[in-house]
Amino acid sequence: MKPGSGVTIVEVGPRDGLQNLTTQVKTEDKVRLIEWLAASGLREIQIGAFVNPGAIPQFRDIKEVAACVRDLPGVTLTALVPNLRGAQTAFESGIRKLIFFFSISRSHNLINVQQTTAASLETLASIMKIFSTHPDTTICAALATVFGCPFEGFFPTDAILRYVEAVADMGITEVTLCDTVGFGNPGQVEEITRACMEKFPEVTFGVHLHNTRGLGLANALKAYETGIRIFDAAVGGLGGCPFAPGASGNIATEDIVFMFNQMGVETGVHLEKLLDATQYLQDILPDMPLTSALFHAGLPKRIDGNGFPRLKERP
């Protein structure tokens, strides 16, 4: 049976969108951006990563950002954590949905978090031991390079399933399958997401897709048709992994929300308000070319400037 038709769009712009920038965004600008995004109706926002500031200086103020936004009503704040220390700091900062990330590619994991994939799994086990006893805290896993790795190429579906099994055995019930460098295609997305959902019905899967090679929305639509209901996206289409050569923008939140809204799939996001958030992002990063198609084209309007009703809302 397929899950309901509505989708959750997880806004990862404040994390994936900003982590690759050489410009240090001011703390108050990050806070204001997150507030704009929340005002558009986005109900899950990834505010950053609790990592060594030497590795990713953009997140050296993550505790201050968390302190400013932790009481945003109706919004679940998440953050990436690569290790126990990061998980502890995130928890102390009021984050109650921690995303433990590791790469199924040994080579990428060594560069990204300086440990083997096996060591990352041991770290996750120790995080689970401590935090799974907190009733209001959720630990999720994000598996990087599932759809291909710039160092190791593509992985057989069986190998991917083994990593999902490893985290599911620890009690993880939400897993994000990440196309870290935009190697994925719709056929592969269908095969991998279907295999995961069939083998682990107790796990909720989301996808994190990059539009590096122009297939972001095609992959997202295929994932939706296969039954996925959680999609990461980044405001403006920013994004990229500093430790994966060739990684570029995420699916733009505006574009995926536009696609689903026009299809009549509930996202809960108000597009005009979301475009205000994008404009704010452009204002704080005036030299950054944003790849969101909707941001540049605007919402469909009649020649006289009035909006068209959506097809299904016509009398």
- CB closer to Zn ion out of 93 and 211: 211
Sign (positive/negative) of CA torsion 142, 34, 280, 231? Answer: positive
Pick the closest to residue 84 from 68, 100, 72, 66 (CA basis). Answer: 100
- The closest residue (CB) to Zn ion is 16
Q: How many CB atoms lie within 10 A of CB 123?
A: 21
Shortest Å, Cβ 249 to Zn ion: 9
One residue of 10, 13, 16, 249 binding Zn ion per CB under 5 A: 16
Shortest Å, Cβ 207 to Zn ion: 11
Say which residue the tokens 């790795």 belong to. 149
| C-alpha distances out from residue 19 to 50, 63, 110, 122, Å | 12, 15, 18, 26
Q: For residue 11, state whether it binds Zn ion (rule: CB under 5 A).
A: no
- φ, ψ for residue 202 (rounded to 5)? -80, -10
- CB closer to Zn ion out of 128 and 235: 235
- CB closer to Zn ion out of 91 and 184: 184
Question: Do the beta carbons of residue 237 and residue 225 sit within 8 Å?
Answer: no
In the chain, helix, strand, coil percent, each to 5? 45, 15, 40
**Which residue stretch of 12-20, 110-118, 218-226, 268-276 sits at the interface with Zn ion (rule: CB under 5 A)?**
12-20
Shortest Å, Cβ 122 to Zn ion: 24
Shortest Å, Cβ 80 to Zn ion: 10
Query: Among this protein's residues, is 241 annotated catalytic?
Result: yes
User: Residue 136: exposed, middle, or buried by beta-carbon count in 10 A (0-12, 13-18, 19+)?
Assistant: exposed
**Which residue stretch of 11-19, 104-112, 211-219, 297-305 sits at the interface with Zn ion (rule: CB under 5 A)?**
11-19
Shortest Å, Cβ 159 to Zn ion: 20
DSSP 248-314: -PBPBHHHHHHHHHHHT------HHHHHHHHHHHHHHSTTPPP--HHHHH-S-B-TTSPBPPPGGG-
**Which residue stretch of 14-22, 44-52, 189-197, 304-312 sits at the interface with Zn ion (rule: CB under 5 A)?**
14-22
**Which residue stretch of 8-16, 187-195, 273-281, 287-295 sits at the interface with Zn ion (rule: CB under 5 A)?**
8-16
- CB closer to Zn ion out of 16 and 254: 16
- CB closer to Zn ion out of 20 and 91: 20
Shortest Å, Cβ 191 to Zn ion: 21
Integer Cα distance of 229 and 220 in angstroms? 10
- CB closer to Zn ion out of 16 and 44: 16
> Binding-site residue total for Zn ion (CB under 5 A)?
1
Q: Which one from 68, 140, 196, 241 is the annotated catalytic residue? A: 241
**Which residue stretch of 10-18, 20-28, 112-120, 260-268 sits at the interface with Zn ion (rule: CB under 5 A)?**
10-18
Token digits of residue 38: 């929340």
Please list the active-site residues. 241
By CB under 5 A, name the binding residues for Zn ion: 16
